[in-house]
């Protein structure tokens, strides 16, 4: 399909300044970006006067089916939230529940401008099926917890996901291996996963140092910080790694991460809501460590609107340092696009608007009181915009939402399914 976006304010998220111009899409790819392009051959012309065009947002850490548990267990400490509410409810989820919960998160993400997400959960085949049907781009990971012997079932499921889905759905799906965290994966099990990842050239996605409780657990068990534990296992040397949260890192931990492939997914809203703390984002960046942005699941963050994460990421660093010049608007936007793409190892494909990359593009309608006047489009998008301002979402050259209307999902059916299923899952938990 040939699409021409006309008269948009274009933020490429490269180092150039925003400008007014046109974007031409042929099939899956961006083929031209200029101030003016002839529309004679375009099958679909999108008039984008008054709109900003930018790369689709990239959610670098998610648990999509947790949308079924949105608002179910708020205002609890993380371990109470996890052990008393989340895990018991999740144990009651069927593969079909996982499928519909994933689609609910995808509907919210498409509506709020996210085009790519990284997911870690169980029953990943159902999430992959939903991703393929809906049209989003995703990096999928079977979460691996080794607190009891399962006879190798989890590893088998993780490998099946990789073999069945990596590179599928027109190339929109990639995969990783997902040892859950240092406190749920003993030394030998984590070593085995790292060895697999190294041999298969597959990245690893894991949680790191989300809470003080985790740091204390690992200290008591190994006399190390969680980061030292993973460093000694060779994770940072042997693989491309996505480290979710990374809130409680000391200066030595940050030094150990220096030079790693991959980096950190910063999840500020979830960390705030669960009282986990403020991640040392600027210290990481100063050491050359890549930092992207994720939402975590809706069970903790409640919303998976990446514009809320962009705001929180910027504001937290300003607050932490008592300095409003820290984490300027454009840096926060870059973390949610270009840097998240690097984190997921898909930066050759997406993350910026440029000729030759896949056409993952969002249009934000700026003809609204809270987005006027326009002195700095970057400031408005980082500090004032919200997911409801996204007018159009395009992934891989296919329009998934036009004028706020989802084109690849029936929302009435979706809402009926998730309400019915969520009531059954949470009953008596």
CA atoms lying within 13 Å on the CB side of residue 42: 18
Q: Show me where the domains of the chain are located.
A: 2-54+359-406, 57-343
pLDDT digits (tens, 9 = 90+) for 381-423: 999 999 999 999 999 999 999 999 999 999 999 999 999 999 9
Average pLDDT over residues 193-212: 97
What pLDDT sits at residue 429?
85
Place of tokens 């409810």: 89
Domain 2-54+359-406 identical in fold to domain 57-343: no
- Determine the Cα–Cα distance for residues 2 and 235; give it in Å rounded to an integer: 43
**Mean per-residue pLDDT of the chain:** 96
The predicted model scores a pTM of 0.97
Q: Which CATH architecture has domain 57-343?
A: Alpha-Beta Barrel (3.20)
Residue 78 has pLDDT above 80, yes or no: no
- Determine the Cα–Cα distance for residues 419 and 423; give it in Å rounded to an integer: 6
Question: Predicted confidence band at 87 (pLDDT cuts at 50, 70, 90)?
Answer: confident
Residue 1 has pLDDT above 80, yes or no: no
What pLDDT sits at residue 381?
98
Residue 147 has pLDDT above 80, yes or no: no
Average pLDDT over residues 145-155: 85
- Determine the Cα–Cα distance for residues 60 and 203; give it in Å rounded to an integer: 13
- Determine the Cα–Cα distance for residues 114 and 394; give it in Å rounded to an integer: 10
| Distances from the Cα of 279 to the Cα of 81, 215, 223, 235, 351, angstroms | 20, 14, 22, 20, 23
Residue 68 has pLDDT above 90, yes or no: yes
Average pLDDT over residues 248-274: 97
Question: Predicted confidence band at 79 (pLDDT cuts at 50, 70, 90)?
Answer: confident
Average pLDDT over residues 32-39: 93
Question: Predicted confidence band at 77 (pLDDT cuts at 50, 70, 90)?
Answer: confident
The angle that helices 95-111 and 411-426 make with each other, rounded to 10 degrees, is 130
At the topology level, CATH places domain 2-54+359-406 in: Urease, subunit C; domain 1 (2.30.40)
What pLDDT sits at residue 80?
86
Question: Predicted confidence band at 225 (pLDDT cuts at 50, 70, 90)?
Answer: very high
Range 44-47 contact pairs with CB under 8 angstroms and sequence separation of 24 or more: 44/1, 44/2, 44/3, 44/4, 44/399, 45/3, 45/4, 45/6, 46/3, 46/4, 46/5, 46/6, 46/363, 46/392, 47/6, 47/7
């Amino acid at each position: 399909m040939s699409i021409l976006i006309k008269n948009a304010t274009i933020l490429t998220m490269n180092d150039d300044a925003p400008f007014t111009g046109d974007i031409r899409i042929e099939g899956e790819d961006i083929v031209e970006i200029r101030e003016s392009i002839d529309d004679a051959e375009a099958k679909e012309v999108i008039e984008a006067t008054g709109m900003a065009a930018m790369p689709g947002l990239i959610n670098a850490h998610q648990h999509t089916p947790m949308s079924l548990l949105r608002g179910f267990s708020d205002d609890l400490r993380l371990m109470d939230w996890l052990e008393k509410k989340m895990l018991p409810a999740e144990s009651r989820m069927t593969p079909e529940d996982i499928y519909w919960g994933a689609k609910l998160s995808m509907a919210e993400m498409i509506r709020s401008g996210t085009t790519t997400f990284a997911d870690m959960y169980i029953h990943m085949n159902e999430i992959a099926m939903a991703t393929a049907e809906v049209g989003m781009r995703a990096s999928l990971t079977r979460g691996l917890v080794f607190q009891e012997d399962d006879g190798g079932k989890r590893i088998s499921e993780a490998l099946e996901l990789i073999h069945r889905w990596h590179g599928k759905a027109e190339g929109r799906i990639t995969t990783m291996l997902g040892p859950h965290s240092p406190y749920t994966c003993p030394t030998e099990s984590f070593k085995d996963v790292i060895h697999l990842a190294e041999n298969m050239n597959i990245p690893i996605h894991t949680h790191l140092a989300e809470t003080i409780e985790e740091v204390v657990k690992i200290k008591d068990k190994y006399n190390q910080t969680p980061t030292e534990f993973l460093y000694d296992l060779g994770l940072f040397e042997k693989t491309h790694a996505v480290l979710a949260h990374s809130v409680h890192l000391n200066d030595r931990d940050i030094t150990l991460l220096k030079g790693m492939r991959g980096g950190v997914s910063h999840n500020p809203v979830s960390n705030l809501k669960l009282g986990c703390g403020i991640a040392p984002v600027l210290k990481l960046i100063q050491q050359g460590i890549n930092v992207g942005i994720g939402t975590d699941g809706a069970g903790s963050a409640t919303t998976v609107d990446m514009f809320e994460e962009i705001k929180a990421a910027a504001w937290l660093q300003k607050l932490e340092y008592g300095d409003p010049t820290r984490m300027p608007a454009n840096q926060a936007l870059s973390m949610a696009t270009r840097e998240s793409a690097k984190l997921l190892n898909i930066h050759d494909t997406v993350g910026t608007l440029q000729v030759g990359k896949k056409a993952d593009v969002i249009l934000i309608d700026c003809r609204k009181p809270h987005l006027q006047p326009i002195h700095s489009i970057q400031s408005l998008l980082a500090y004032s915009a919200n997911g409801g301002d996204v007018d159009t979402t395009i992934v891989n050259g296919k329009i998934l939402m036009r004028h706020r209307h989802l084109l690849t999902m029936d929302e009435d059916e979706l809402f009926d399914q998730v309400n019915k299923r969520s009531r059954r899952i949470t009953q008596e938990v």
